[in-house]
Structure 1
């Protein structure tokens, strides 16, 4: 599943999701929602203004959803099964509802300097906490997933374990999977255990020497991934809780806003 908006980079995200769906012979579902604009006026003036612009607002909303559908169908291309779902309302709430029909949600990174996604934009932080599905977060202009080499960011948490399970179809297809421990000796031993567990499932896996959690973890992981020509990072999201994430450097936040490599994240 992939959410659709009217931003300039949305077609790339759809094409990326379509290529992944083709790879697994899966159905690709496009979703979009937009809510009516709230009147800036209060009282009787606000009611009068809403009545005056109501028909035009409804036409504009309908037109936006139609344009989103056209963008989805055009970017998805041919040779795969697709389905379109749209609605009137909060975009995040609509996506969370529709995600019950999906294995994974492919969504674009949202950095401060990334292109605007307009009124159909969805906040990734809140979505990650509540959707109950893994998010595959991709940087701008990404057109397909190169997952021959994968980095697994390991910290012994429920979220990291869930992310590995969610990524298993991709891990099994990879030529090389490196499990990178974040933290002390205990985490490194955990990475060794996880790597052996993956090997028992037919994954070509090995453990990497541990990273020091005191340094910028996200930067270290991206550097390892880039040095090894990895095309995907797998990680648990908000393993400390969102308040502690702010204190401990915000690895999840960094990936959601500034990753240069596709990241599969689960909470």
Structure 2
């Protein structure tokens, strides 16, 4: 598998310049096409469904006010996107490409899409190879992250909000032998092939879980990827922090890991391991559920 199509939902102005530059840098790393999805609510979604409650003239006036506000909010963000594309020498497109070019080329497109952000990410993510989500300000999982990781069926790259360059040389795989970690490794193959160094990191508590580190090394070698392994000590509660400390000691640029969740009544909840990584990581997380 190659990563040819990437999406990034985009709504707020916070760290907008860095987030756009960072996403474009990711696209350049993979020679991929990036769709920046500026999700906005259709003005009609903010108006009463019962049209008879208000006059047509008042309804049209409110509709126009909301439409003007949405347009004014999007224009400076789109200008940042166009400036970044020009600075990075990335060609922009006005329609979705229908055919792959003979030579890999980084392209980008700004899309104004109507709908609730979570629904847009879940829908568009199913036909993309990866979704970029900015790290939440308070370290919690965001609506976009939950929609992407639970419903797109594709990997998610969590980017620190101020990171504007993505050029990883060293990737650390968080390995415990379970299904989520295995799916993350498979999805990350295009990433693992491009970095210089791959390290498999496992806690002492999981070192005997099967498949083992050694078996994963053999699997990666069959795909032309050489790797080394590390074992770190940590209790169950300290495992996320210990993993981050191990990645920092290795000077890793990205962590490949599974996203863990459990089902409660009518609600999907993320486990402590995933929530801790989302909150504390200072480097990108390549995640798969």
Aligned position for 1:225: 247
Gap regions ≥5 residues in structure 1: 115-120
Cα displacement (A) at 1:167:
0.9
Give a deviation string over 1:3-23, Cα, whole Å, max 9, x none. Answer: 222322122122112122223
Give a deviation string over 1:132-162, Cα, whole Å, max 9, x none. Answer: 2211101121112242111101122222111
Q: Given the two structures, how large is their TM-score scaled by the length of structure 1?
A: 0.83
Kept in 2, the 8 Å contact 1:237–1:265? The answer is: yes
Matched, 1:109 2:149: no
- Using the TM superposition, name which of 192-201 and 42-51 deviates more: 42-51
In structure 1, what is the Cα distance between the partners aligned to 2:210 and 2:242? 16
Aligned position for 1:118: none
Kept in 1, the 8 Å contact 2:9–2:144? The answer is: no
Aligned position for 1:70: 79
In structure 2, what is the Cα distance between the partners aligned to 1:39 and 1:246? 29
Aligned position for 1:61: 70
1:65/1:92 CA distance change after superposition, 3 Å: farther
1:242/1:228 CA distance change after superposition, 3 Å: farther
Gap regions ≥5 residues in structure 2: 1-6, 91-105
Kept in 2, the 8 Å contact 1:154–1:160? The answer is: yes
Task: Output the aligned Cα RMSD.
Answer: 3.0
- SS of the residue corresponding to residue 254 of structure 1 reads helix
Cα displacement (A) at 1:74:
2.2
Within 5 Å, which residues of 2 pair with 1:75-94?
Answer: 75-77=84-86, 78-79=89-90, 80-94=106-120
Q: How many equivalent pairs are there?
A: 258
Aligned position for 1:193: 215
In structure 2, what is the Cα distance between the partners aligned to 1:210 and 1:259? 17
1:19/1:65 CA distance change after superposition, 3 Å: same
Aligned position for 2:281: 259
Kept in 1, the 8 Å contact 2:148–2:154? The answer is: no
1:11/1:102 CA distance change after superposition, 3 Å: farther
- SS of the residue corresponding to residue 186 of structure 1 reads coil
1:25/1:87 CA distance change after superposition, 3 Å: same
Kept in 2, the 8 Å contact 1:13–1:107? The answer is: no
Cα displacement (A) at 1:46:
7.9
Aligned position for 2:17: 11
